[in-house]
Structure 1
Amino acid sequence: MPAEPSTLAAERAHLAASRDALRRMREHARGLSADAAADWVSRQFLESLLDQRVAALADHPDTPLFFGRMDRDAAVPSDLPDVMYVGRRHVHDGPEGRPLVLDWRAPVSRAFYQAGPADPMGWRLRRRFGFQGGELTAFEDEPLDGPAGGGTGPSRILTDEIERPRTGPMRDIVATIQPDQDVIVRAELPRTVCVQGAPGTGKTAVGLHRAAYLLFTHRERLSKSGVLIVGPNRAFLSYISAVLPALGEVRVEQATVDDLLGAPAGDEPAAVSALKGDARMARVVSRALWAHVRKPEDGLVVTRGASRHRLAGHEVRETAAALRGTTRYGSGRAAFAQRLAHRILVLMEQRGEAPDDRVQDQVARSAPVRRLLDQVWPKVTPEQVLYRLLSDAGFLRTAAKGVLEEDEQAALLWRRPARSHRSARWTAADRALLDELGDLIERTASLGHLVVDEAQDLSAMQLRALGRRCGTGSATVLGDLAQGTTAWSARSWTDVLAHLGQEGEVTELTLGFRVPGTVLDYAARLLPHVAPELERPRSLRAGAGALEVRRVPDLLPAAVRAAREALERPGSVGLIVPDAGAAAHASALEAAGLAHAVLGPGHDGAARLLVVPAALAKGLEYDHVIVAEPAAIAAAEERGLARLYVALTRAVTSLTVLHQADLPAELCDPPAP
């Protein structure tokens, strides 16, 4: 609606008062002291909390402090205020704490996202605010007390916010969360939620906002147990890094799977990686570990003073057998020593002695017990076990008997083993096996909540590794089966949840807000070939004129021209190319004098024009996308069509497809009716 001057002035005055109150809240937090703490450790902890509080109260002038308002229906009895402003954080004024802005995560704020004519939830009006550069410029009112289904169409302010050009990191979507997204965001902590989201449906943003919601609702619990965001690569984590701080959450850890399990130092054929990532390998490595526990050959003799105490061989074997496989390997080794020592103490008591617990510990650490322990239950590392498994054909055959076929065993066996486990070049698949072994030896610590994005690209063994890290907590699992690009990509979310060890419900988001309809329809031609079981995605935006497909005689000059044209329009530009062609395209842009960067380990994606290797495009988005040579992207790997589907769905405003070679036949199929 047109902004009435008097109403707009009043709303701007409320914004100014709210910003002033936030400044005073921050000054008050800065003035607090940790000196009252009882000791140095407590003082350091309190200082850290105060620093977090000050950081969380930071005011970003170009970020709206509030984005919506709700007016209460006076005819409905309620203790709620007549007017409620909803924003990114709570802001109050004065010693009595009069609320000026309510945090979007507060229970009362749910109505801003969920209320409608069918269920006004006690409110009569929803107002959305339009901002430009941090200045309030417009508002739009939506009556909630009218007939259901009698709306006038999508909010223009909401649509403008979704389509607003962007450069740099991902922005929060707190002002544009839709009802179906809000239900996921507000799912309670004990529930594990799995979101199958088509491109542009906001699944990543929903996962991040759920993390922010849970931290707000369960602050004390999660501040102790922790929240971790796991993404597919560092470029993706850099892209999403600004979302949670913008919502006031400044202490959430982010990591890739390689960060958690260890960076790979070697590579191997995709088929071997897929086999190592198979869930059956959990049984194989467990057998390999427990095979190191040997059957005792002799008894045990412990000398204490002038007395000799003897355990017969069968007693030692009984003690080992009672522990084998019933506990973790490391704790079982320690318990074996203690149980042997306890049996010695029983013998001592039978002779009239009166030993105590200190004597038992001494016996457990004695040389005879240590020698027997090393013979029967040797101390091992995950690297030692896996090295032996992959380099010793006989040992592998025993561990994999009845689990893997002979040809699978042959594929796993190293042709030229490293000299020792210390010089082995472990692959990404090996790292997951090492983590499995590490947990079998000593328990992995668990977090309170885990957010896993692009989960469809993780192997069963990698999922097991992540599941151990939320074994006593819950998870938010995000992904799209159609975008699975690894040799071990999941085909079912039921399987993903089972490997994580979590029971959860799967929600499918098919309505896109980010990708224009014409672009999404074009990319969806690939869907029957990469994930035929999924529902065809739809877009809220028609996107007329957003797609252009050009056949060009020379690819590099055409890419430079397309990049130059895209830079004439506002917003970010992503030139997505086959991995092997990134350097050539970068050189062509440099020769043409176009400032750019190449996305990769050395760059976080902050430039306006980016050359994006196709393998790194997942999870990212740009206002204008140029996809160069789709056939080369599709042919570069086994699941190349899925990689191409990812590349084609990164555009928010426009997509230009350049091809010198013929397009893949699957992309030439006519759109589904």
Structure 2
Amino acid sequence: MADVRDREISIEQDHLDGVYRRLEEKIQEAEFLMRDAARRGQVGTPGALAERDAQVFRAGIHLNRLNNEFEDFLFGRIDLLLGKDGEKGPDGAYTSVEPADDAVHPDGTADIAETLHIGRIGVLDADYTPLVIDWRAPAAAPFYRSTPVEPGRVVRRRVIRSKGRQVLGVEDDLMRPELTARLAGEPLAVVGDGALMAALGQARSHTMRDIVASIQAEQDRVIRAPAASVTLVEGGPGTGKTAVALHRAAYLLYQDRRRYAGGILIVSPTPLLVSYTEGVLPSLGEEGQVAIRALGSLVDGAEATAYDPPAAARVKGSARMVQVLRRAARGALDLGAAPPARAGRDEEAGEAPEGQ
């Protein structure tokens, strides 16, 4: 078993090495773009200056993301059956979520048709073949949603544990244990105790970690829910509501960055929770686009320092305040409207004024 584990770790290490080589190339490309933009600015025309500023901005953001080395940059992999169609999405992966009718042979064997590695940001090679799929991309959804009951195309799901540029271990889950699957003609290896057990075994720290490698199917449905209306998430203590909200913010920015160009504000009930969670979004590649503020720090330049007496705090925290706030909100909407004409006493009593 140790030989199989070592071999699989070596396979993932080779892939990670290739990813970092590609990242180094992309960093050099971004640096070249910034130098080229500086040269364009020397032309002096308004058009050249505007083009330079836009190019420097885009290259700077890209360079910042590439230069950030996150722990577990590459954290997942899925091995997939042949899909029903051969169409590819913008991330270079096939879009089909269901296996082809002939993906499984009559004798119960199957060949792995596609392997996707999942990470914090997407990386394509020079031929636009995906080396890493961004965890927020549609192609990565099966990594989180596949189960033995509803496996889709997924045969094996693997969590890759790494630190920096070194792969430390792998943990596999079989989504289709009834199949005898082959990868490049060899039996598909299975290593470890499973993805969830690996995540639960990680050491805790004094700050919140992202859960990007261990998101469960129910959490993923919340994270990827449409943004057309208000999304209410309810759950008991410790069920991951805060972590899901932070990952949803990162997902929304990825899906519709133009819509959220002004950024996303996350309101925390206490400053302590702000300090506890502030490292999650940078680790997901979204630094600077999301602000996390406590209730008392929402207004720039103002900091709430007063504390209500217990009696007042109980009133403000009670359900009765919902009606008060609702009336206040409606009143604010009506501030610009002229007040209605006040009827005379006779009209209020239901009597017609004199002369009518």
Question: Is this a same-fold pair by TM over 0.5?
Answer: yes
Alignment of 1:2-13 (within 5 A): 2=2, 3-13=4-14
1:229, distance to aligned residue in structure 2 (A): 1.4
Please give the root-mean-square deviation of Cα atoms over the aligned residues, in Å: 3.3
SS of equivalent to 1:142: strand
1:37-90 Cα shifts (integer Å, max 9, x gaps): 7265665455333322211223426x1222221112147554426111111110
Letter in 2 for 1:97: Y
Contact 1:71 1:123 in 2 (8 A): yes
1:5, distance to aligned residue in structure 2 (A): 3.5
**Counterpart for residue 119 of structure 1:** 150
**Counterpart for residue 17 of structure 2:** 16
Matched, 1:84 2:122: no
SS of equivalent to 1:208: helix
Matched, 1:139 2:170: yes
1:4, distance to aligned residue in structure 2 (A): 3.8
**Counterpart for residue 303 of structure 2:** 263
Inter-partner Cα distance in structure 1 for 2:310 and 2:154: 57
Inter-partner Cα distance in structure 2 for 1:169 and 1:84: 30
Match of 1:177 among 215, 219, 222: 215
1:13, distance to aligned residue in structure 2 (A): 0.5
Contact 1:120 1:144 in 2 (8 A): yes
Letter in 2 for 1:257: L
Alignment of 1:293-442 (within 5 A): 323-325=337-339
SS of equivalent to 2:150: coil
1:128, distance to aligned residue in structure 2 (A): 2.3
Inter-partner Cα distance in structure 1 for 2:291 and 2:51: 23
Letter in 2 for 1:324: A
**Counterpart for residue 104 of structure 2:** none
Identify if the C-alpha distance between structure 1 residues 202 and 268 changes in structure 2 by more than 3 Å, giving closer, same or farther: closer
Alignment of 1:83-232 (within 5 A): 83-94=115-126, 96-131=127-162, 135-146=166-177, 155-223=193-261, 225-232=262-269
Matched, 1:246 2:262: no
1:140, distance to aligned residue in structure 2 (A): 3.0
**Counterpart for residue 69 of structure 1:** 77
Identify if the C-alpha distance between structure 1 residues 74 and 227 changes in structure 2 by more than 3 Å, giving closer, same or farther: same
1:88-137 Cα shifts (integer Å, max 9, x gaps): 1101222x222111111110111111112322222322222233565213
Letter in 1 for 2:115: V
**Counterpart for residue 233 of structure 1:** 270
Inter-partner Cα distance in structure 2 for 1:49 and 1:41: 12
1:364-398 Cα shifts (integer Å, max 9, x gaps): xxxxxxxxxxxxxxxxxxxxxxxxxxxxxxxxxxx
Letter in 1 for 2:238: G
Contact 1:228 1:255 in 2 (8 A): yes
1:208-239 Cα shifts (integer Å, max 9, x gaps): 1111111111112211x421111122232122
Letter in 2 for 1:217: Q
Inter-partner Cα distance in structure 1 for 2:56 and 2:152: 42
TM value normalised by structure 1? 0.39
1:272, distance to aligned residue in structure 2 (A): 3.0
Identify if the C-alpha distance between structure 1 residues 265 and 160 changes in structure 2 by more than 3 Å, giving closer, same or farther: closer
Inter-partner Cα distance in structure 2 for 1:232 and 1:117: 39
Letter in 1 for 2:270: N
Alignment of 1:488-567 (within 5 A): none
1:161, distance to aligned residue in structure 2 (A): 2.5
Letter in 2 for 1:26: I
TM value normalised by structure 2? 0.70
Q: Which has the larger radius of gyration?
A: 1
The structure with more helix, counted as a fraction of residues? 1
**Counterpart for residue 26 of structure 1:** 27
SS of equivalent to 2:260: helix
User: Structure 1 vs Structure 2: percent identity of aligned residues?
Assistant: 31
Inter-partner Cα distance in structure 2 for 1:144 and 1:5: 22
Identify if the C-alpha distance between structure 1 residues 111 and 280 changes in structure 2 by more than 3 Å, giving closer, same or farther: same
Contact 1:124 1:143 in 2 (8 A): yes
Contact 2:81 2:153 in 1 (8 A): yes
Match of 2:60 among 51, 54, 77: 51
Gaps of 5+ in 1: 292-321, 327-673
Gaps of 5+ in 2: 42-46, 88-93, 95-112, 180-189, 341-356
SS of equivalent to 1:139: strand
Identify if the C-alpha distance between structure 1 residues 75 and 221 changes in structure 2 by more than 3 Å, giving closer, same or farther: closer
Contact 1:52 1:250 in 2 (8 A): no
SS of equivalent to 2:198: helix
Inter-partner Cα distance in structure 2 for 1:59 and 1:200: 29
Contact 1:131 1:138 in 2 (8 A): yes
Inter-partner Cα distance in structure 2 for 1:13 and 1:45: 36
Letter in 2 for 1:48: F
Inter-partner Cα distance in structure 2 for 1:161 and 1:209: 17
Inter-partner Cα distance in structure 1 for 2:325 and 2:32: 56
Identify if the C-alpha distance between structure 1 residues 265 and 137 changes in structure 2 by more than 3 Å, giving closer, same or farther: closer
Identify if the C-alpha distance between structure 1 residues 325 and 41 changes in structure 2 by more than 3 Å, giving closer, same or farther: farther
Identify if the C-alpha distance between structure 1 residues 203 and 147 changes in structure 2 by more than 3 Å, giving closer, same or farther: farther
Contact 2:297 2:304 in 1 (8 A): no
Alignment of 1:287-298 (within 5 A): none
Inter-partner Cα distance in structure 2 for 1:31 and 1:173: 35
Inter-partner Cα distance in structure 1 for 2:173 and 2:120: 21
**Counterpart for residue 349 of structure 2:** none
SS of equivalent to 2:233: strand
Inter-partner Cα distance in structure 1 for 2:119 and 2:230: 27
Number of residue-to-residue matches in the alignment: 289
1:267, distance to aligned residue in structure 2 (A): 4.0
Contact 2:16 2:165 in 1 (8 A): no
1:546-569 Cα shifts (integer Å, max 9, x gaps): xxxxxxxxxxxxxxxxxxxxxxxx
1:163-220 Cα shifts (integer Å, max 9, x gaps): 3224353211110001111111111121322222222221111111111111111112
Contact 2:224 2:248 in 1 (8 A): yes
Inter-partner Cα distance in structure 1 for 2:65 and 2:238: 29
